[in-house]
C-alpha cells in the first residue's frame, strides 16, 4: 500500500511539473513574443488590468498585486495620472485615503494591447494542422476556467500577504509604546 501511495505521489509531482512547464511556456509565448514594445510595459498593464477588473483600489493594493513597493507604485500611479490613464478619488470608507481608478483613456491601450495579442495568437494558430488546433481548442475549454482560478488565487494570496505584512507592521508599531515586550504574547 505504501508503495502504491508513493507512486501516486511521484506521479502527481511529475504531473505538476508538466503543468508548470506548460504554463511557463505559454507565458513565454505571450510575454516575449506577443508583447508590443511600443505599448504598455508589463507593470503598467498589470495595474490597468487590476483596476479594470476590480474597480477603484488603494495604491497599497496595487503595489501588492504587482509585487513592487508602495513608493514605486505611487510613482507609477502619478505618471499614469499625468497621462490621464488613471485618476484618484476619495475613499468613501476612509476620508484620509484615496482610491485609484482607471479612466476610459486607460482602458483604450489595455484593450488595444489585448486585441493585438489575440490577433497575433490567432495568426499563429492558422499555421497549425487542423487536428492540433482542435486539440488545443478542447484543452483551452477545459484549462481556461482552471487558469482563471489560479490567477484569482495568486492575486488573493499576494494581496493577502501584503495585508498580513501591514498588519504585523502596525502591531509592532503599537507595541513600541506598550508595556508588552516584543516577541511575547499579550494575555487573551
For residue 19, being part of any structural domain is answered with: no
CATH number at residue 69: 1.10.10.10
Residues ≥6 apart with Cβ < 8 Å to 136: 125, 128
For residue 178, being part of any structural domain is answered with: no
Q: 64-68, 165-169, 175-179: which range is least confident on average? A: 175-179
Total tally of structural domains belonging to the chain: 1
131-146 pLDDT, tens digit per residue, is 999 999 999 999 999 9
Domain of residue 78 covers 37-168
For residue 25, being part of any structural domain is answered with: no
The grid cell for 74 is: 505611487
Q: How far apart are CA 102 and CA 50, in angstroms?
A: 9
**The pLDDT value given to residue 188:** 41
For residue 136, being part of any structural domain is answered with: yes
pLDDT > 90? residue 71: yes
For residue 177, being part of any structural domain is answered with: no
For residue 111, being part of any structural domain is answered with: yes
- What integer best gives the mean pLDDT of the chain? 82
pTM of the predicted structure, to 2 decimals = 0.65
Q: How far apart are CA 105 and CA 120, in angstroms?
A: 23
Amino acid at each position: 500500500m505504501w508503495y502504491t501511495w508513493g507512486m501516486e505521489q511521484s506521479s502527481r509531482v511529475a504531473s505538476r511539473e508538466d503543468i508548470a512547464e506548460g504554463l511557463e511556456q505559454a507565458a513565454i509565448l505571450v510575454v516575449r513574443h506577443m508583447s508590443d514594445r511600443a505599448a504598455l510595459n508589463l507593470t503598467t498593464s498589470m495595474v490597468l488590468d487590476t483596476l479594470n477588473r476590480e474597480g477603484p483600489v488603494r495604491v497599497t493594493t496595487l503595489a501588492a498585486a504587482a509585487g513592487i513597493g508602495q513608493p514605486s507604485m505611487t510613482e507609477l500611479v502619478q505618471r499614469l495620472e499625468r497621462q490621464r490613464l488613471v485618476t484618484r478619488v476619495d475613499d468613501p470608507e476612509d476620508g484620509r485615503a484615496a482610491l485609484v481608478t482607471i479612466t476610459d483613456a486607460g482602458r483604450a491601450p489595455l484593450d488595444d494591447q489585448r486585441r493585438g495579442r489575440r490577433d497575433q495568437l490567432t495568426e499563429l494558430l492558422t499555421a497549425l494542422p487542423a487536428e492540433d488546433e482542435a486539440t488545443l481548442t478542447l484543452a483551452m475549454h477545459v484549462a481556461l476556467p482552471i487558469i482563471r482560478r489560479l490567477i484569482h488565487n495568486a492575486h488573493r494570496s499576494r494581496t493577502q500577504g501584503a495585508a498580513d505584512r501591514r498588519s504585523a507592521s502596525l502591531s509592532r508599531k503599537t507595541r513600541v509604546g506598550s508595556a508588552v515586550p516584543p516577541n511575547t504574547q499579550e494575555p487573551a
